[in-house]
Each structure stands twice: as C-alpha cells, then as structure tokens.
Amino acid sequence: TASAAGRPSRGGRWPRLGQYLIAMGLMWLAAAHAQPPAAPALYQQHCASCHGAQRTGLMGPALLPESLERTRPAEVLRVIREGRQATQMPGFADTLAADEIQALADWVRSPVQPAPRWGEDDIRASRSFTPLPEGEPNRPKWNADPMNLFVVVEGGDHHISLLDGDRFEVIARFASRYALHGGPKFTPDGRYVFFGSRDGWITKYDLWRLAVVAEVRAGLNMRNVAVSGDGRWVMAANYLPHTLALFDADLNLVKTYAAATLDGKATSRVSAVYDAAPRSSFVVALKDIPEIWEISYDQGAAPIHDGLVHDYKMGEAIAKPGYLGVRRTPLSEPLDDFFFDQSYRHVLGATRPKSGGDERASAQVVNLDARIKVADLPIAGMPHLGSGITFAWNGTTVLASPNLGGANQGGMVDVIDMQNWKNVRTLKTPGPGFFMRSHEATPYAWTDSMMSPQAKDTLTIIDKRTLETVAQVREPGKTLAHIEFTRDGRYALASVWEMDGAIVVYDAQSFKEVKRLPMKKPVGKYNVWNKITRSEGTSH
C-alpha cells in the first residue's frame, strides 16, 4: 500500500528492489568466481618459477615493461601460446585458455608494483666466480692466432661462436645469457671478454681457457658495459634502476652511482657508458638529464701492484683529484647517442626526436676538456650508437655514419669534417641502416640498409677516397648487416641476420664471397685485434 505522500510503505516496492539487488550481487559474485584466475595468479602458477616472482628474471628473462619494450604485443602473445624455439620456454596453448593467455600478455607489460629494487646487496649476492685452476697452462687451449679471433654473438639462440679469423673455422660455441646487447668488450691483452645482457648480466669469459670466469647482475635492465683501457674496471649502464655500477676486473662491485642531478631531485636512465681510454675515463650518456658525465680512473703516478683492483682504496687515496668521481658537463638538452673522435676530446651526441612528431634528429659536438658545446652537427637522421667510423680524407679527418632516418628519407650516410664539423657529403644508400665499418688497410667502407624492407639485403660499398659508391653485395630477401674486418683488413665478415643465417666472408678487395658459415641470427661479430687496438674502422 502506498502512503498518502506516495512513498512506498514498508513491505512495498523497496524490499523487492533490495531482493533483486542482492540476487544480482550473488549472480555477479558467482560469475566472477567462474572467471579464469586473474593474471597475477596465473603468472605465479605458470611463469614465476622461471621468470621470478617479481618478474625480474631467473632462468628465464625478466618480464618487465622495460625489458619488453622492443617486443610487439602480438609477439608476446605468440611466445606465451607457442613457446620459444631453442629455449626452455614452453607453449601454453594447450594449458591456458585464450583469454588467460591474453590476460598474462597484457599483465607482463604493465609495471610491477611496488617497483622492483636492485641495490648493492643484490648485485653482490648475484656474483659467481670460478678461479683459474692450479697448474693450468697460461696459453690458449686452441691453435689459432688469438689476436685474429672473432667473437660472434648469435642472437637467434643466445650463443657465442669463436671464429678463427685466418681459417674461418669455429673454434668453440657456448651459450650466452639471454639477449646480449652492445659490443662485447675485451681486456687490453685480448684474453678476456665481457658480455652484457639486456637483463643486466655481465659475464667475464676467458677466451684462452674457454670458460666463464665470473658473472654478476649489475641491474634489472641494462644498456651496455665498458671496460677501462687499463683493464682494471668494468662499468655498467642501467635503465633500471637509474644507476651506474662499477666493478673490478673480476666483477666485484666497487660502487654504484645514482644517476641523478646534483641536488638529487631528478634521476635518469643511463643510456650508455663508453671507455675513453686516451683520457683514462668513462664517459656516460644520460637519457633524462641534460648532463654528460665523465668518471676518471686516472691514478696518476699511483703504482699498479699486481694489476688487480682489490687495492683500489689505496689507489683512491693517492690518485689524481676526482678519481672515480663524477665530473658533470651541463647541456641544453639530454644527448643520449654518442660518438667520439679518436682522441676522445670531442663527443658527438644526438638528440632523439620525440616519437610521433616529424621532428628531425639533431646533434651537437661537446668538448670534454672545455666542457661546452662547440658545434651543432648537420645530420640527416638519427644514427645508431657505435655505428660510424673515422678516416683521413682530403687532408682532414672525417666521420661517416649511416642514419636511421625516417622511411620517407631513404638511406643516407653523413660524412662530416671533424676539424670544422661541417657536412662534406651526404651519400644516398638504398635504405636506412645501422652500421658502417672499415679498416685502416682498405680503401673501402661498407654499410647496411637493414632498416629498409626492400633494401635490407644489400650492403653498399663506398670508396673512402672519392666518397662514391663503388659496389653492392646482396643476399636476396634476407637481412645482411654488421661488418667487421679481419685483423689485416683483407676480409670483411657480414651477418645474414636470420634464424638460419650465416657469417659471410668477403674478399675486401674484390667483394667476392670466399666462405660462408651457418649461424643462428649472428647479430654482431668482433675482432679481438681491431677492438683492442681501437681501429678507426670499427666501434670501441
């Protein structure tokens, strides 16, 4: 019955509505219960044992937004569904429903809350070390020129092949950490090599004894490592956390540096760290802070006892002022891609255009002694790091670097006079590329067009004397990229960058193929001699 005011009386419409709502609530609860477990629970059940409870990686790689930045969402889905070939990652298509797989794929791309931490204790606890066994002969276990050895990073199945650079035969093949990135770095004697993985692992490997010496996890998402010119220090650049980590040559942590402004108010991802051997320092590129850092390891006249760094505290006390400290050069904007002149007095830094806009990349030259910008650089597009080379031309020294330009720009190589920082030539290539390489003993420079769907199979060969294109070599339909020369410059080795790929050896004079070795997506190759002598034709 309705009251005179028209309001429903007790026992009228409202109780029925209440019952209805309760029923709806119960139905909703039941439906929620019937739904697949939420992604975090699925993750803990199926993924955590390999990828870590915090998604920071264990036996399997880290699954953090930072680590998955380069993987398309569809690829994440595919890997969860089908697994990953030649790894221990199984497919879950038979175990999980499609919506569960989708939920997992979405979830691993979202930030971990609270953000995972990786402090000095974690770094120290992650280290492993295997001392040199007693009585082991102090020479290579294999019979080849240790100075003409190539270290080939096979990204396809995360392995390393060691290649005899005279006979072009594989001496050894071993598993690497997941997803190495950046060039491996050698000790000055060429015996040890350091590999850095995107997940933050540094591996020190003894090329003579074919054994891992030490490993440590420097960060959760790392960019690269640098080894000091005196072989005593290893520095790692991290995106996550925002730190640099300094190690001795056996990967004992010495200290970490927070990548932060002087007042500590802003922190930054560290884009990369480079060894500036002629200056006895590391130079650091910061992604989010407009500063370049230089960290000197110059001990002045300090005695180096046994070549190891366990006495670094002693060194610190008597070394030159600023030893292992940060020297900041303020900039107008962050520069995160670097290239150096051979003396390492000048750093060429590129600013990345904001994504989405049609802004072009720009670049600046900074003098590391004066600590100021000395020129703006005329480049047609963004270069990839370590992509360029320097060589003598017309009485000056020029820098040549391909740029990643936009697809609409086609491919270009910028040639810049390093005396006045003016562009002397922009060469057209069939498509944008990543790497350019040469050698003191060849008049030619080779560059790829690997970013172009149509021309990724073509290497362009440029005469360094005339700055004209003289030839092309092709691997029809496949990606052909990343060249490195033999110690004597007589042969150029390029990668067929495919799962069923190869290293192709070309005669550097006639450009004819002389040998082909099957490899699993051989991302990069590094010649010991060219690296330790800092050949002007390759990255350092």
CA 376 to CA 362: how far, in whole Å?
Answer: 8
| Least Å from the CB of residue 334 to ligand DHE | 13
Among 56, 442, 535, 539, interactor with ligand DHE by CB under 6 A = 539
- b/e per residue, 163-179, with b = 16+ CB within 10 A? bbbeebebbeeeebbbb
| Least Å from the CB of residue 446 to ligand DHE | 12
C-beta closer to ligand DHE: residue 224 or 401? 224
* Burial zone of 110 (CB within 10 Å; 0-12 exposed, 13-18 middle, 19+ buried): exposed
C-beta closer to ligand DHE: residue 108 or 226? 226
Q: Do 155 and 141 contact (CB within 8 A), yes or no?
A: no
C-beta closer to ligand DHE: residue 141 or 360? 360
C-beta closer to ligand DHE: residue 56 or 479? 479
C-beta closer to ligand DHE: residue 286 or 385? 385
Q: What angle do CA 294, 298, 302 make, to 5 degrees?
A: 160
CA 81 to CA 91: how far, in whole Å?
Answer: 5
C-beta closer to ligand DHE: residue 334 or 524? 524
The candidate with the shortest Cα–Cα distance to 399, out of 348, 473, 351, is 348
Reduced to 3 states (helix: H, G, I; strand: E, B; else coil), residue 10 is: coil
The reply to whether 155 sits near ligand DHE by the rule CB under 6 A is: yes
| Least Å from the CB of residue 435 to ligand DHE | 6
| Least Å from the CB of residue 528 to ligand DHE | 13
Q: Do 531 and 385 contact (CB within 8 A), yes or no?
A: no
Among 51, 177, 223, 464, interactor with ligand DHE by CB under 6 A = 223
- Positive or negative CA dihedral for 223, 383, 407, 448? negative
Q: Total residues contacting ligand DHE (rule CB under 6 A)?
A: 17
C-beta closer to ligand DHE: residue 51 or 384? 384
CA 462 to CA 229: how far, in whole Å?
Answer: 31
CA 364 to CA 286: how far, in whole Å?
Answer: 15
**Interface segment toward ligand DHE; rule CB under 6 A; list 176-184, 276-284, 294-302, 413-421:** 176-184
The reply to whether 70 sits near ligand DHE by the rule CB under 6 A is: yes
DSSP 3-state helix, strand, coil percentages of the chain (rounded to 5)? 15, 35, 45
CA 210 to CA 171: how far, in whole Å?
Answer: 10
Each residue 454-493 as x (binds ligand DHE by CB under 6 A) or -, in order, gives ----------------------------x-----------
Number of other CB atoms surrounding residue 323 within 10 Å: 19
| Least Å from the CB of residue 437 to ligand DHE | 8
Q: What angle do CA 279, 231, 239 make, to 5 degrees?
A: 80
| Least Å from the CB of residue 476 to ligand DHE | 21
**Interface segment toward ligand DHE; rule CB under 6 A; list 136-144, 163-171, 177-185, 358-366:** 177-185
Cis status of the peptide bond prior to 330, with omega within 30 of 0: no
| Least Å from the CB of residue 383 to ligand DHE | 10
Distinct helix (H) and strand (E) counts, the chain: 9, 33
Q: Do 266 and 252 contact (CB within 8 A), yes or no?
A: no
| Least Å from the CB of residue 224 to ligand DHE | 4
Among 108, 152, 222, 272, interactor with ligand DHE by CB under 6 A = 272
The reply to whether 523 sits near ligand DHE by the rule CB under 6 A is: yes
**Interface segment toward ligand DHE; rule CB under 6 A; list 142-150, 179-187, 289-297, 462-470:** 179-187
Each residue 373-412 as x (binds ligand DHE by CB under 6 A) or -, in order, gives -----------xxx--------------------------
* Burial zone of 401 (CB within 10 Å; 0-12 exposed, 13-18 middle, 19+ buried): buried
The candidate with the shortest Cα–Cα distance to 416, out of 468, 361, 341, 345, is 341
Among 182, 219, 334, 381, interactor with ligand DHE by CB under 6 A = 182
DSSP category for residue 7 = P
C-beta closer to ligand DHE: residue 103 or 404? 404
The candidate with the shortest Cα–Cα distance to 232, out of 248, 219, 216, is 248
| Least Å from the CB of residue 523 to ligand DHE | 5
C-beta closer to ligand DHE: residue 155 or 315? 155
Among 344, 524, 529, 532, interactor with ligand DHE by CB under 6 A = 524
C-beta closer to ligand DHE: residue 55 or 181? 181
Among 194, 393, 434, 446, interactor with ligand DHE by CB under 6 A = 434
- Positive or negative CA dihedral for 330, 334, 336, 338? negative
CA 232 to CA 227: how far, in whole Å?
Answer: 8
C-beta closer to ligand DHE: residue 43 or 282? 282
The reply to whether 449 sits near ligand DHE by the rule CB under 6 A is: no
The reply to whether 67 sits near ligand DHE by the rule CB under 6 A is: no
Q: Which residue reads 């000197």 in tokens? A: 296
| Least Å from the CB of residue 297 to ligand DHE | 17
C-beta closer to ligand DHE: residue 444 or 526? 526
Footprint on this chain of ligand DHE (rule: CB under 6 A): 70, 155, 181-183, 223-224, 271-272, 384-386, 434, 482, 523-524, 539
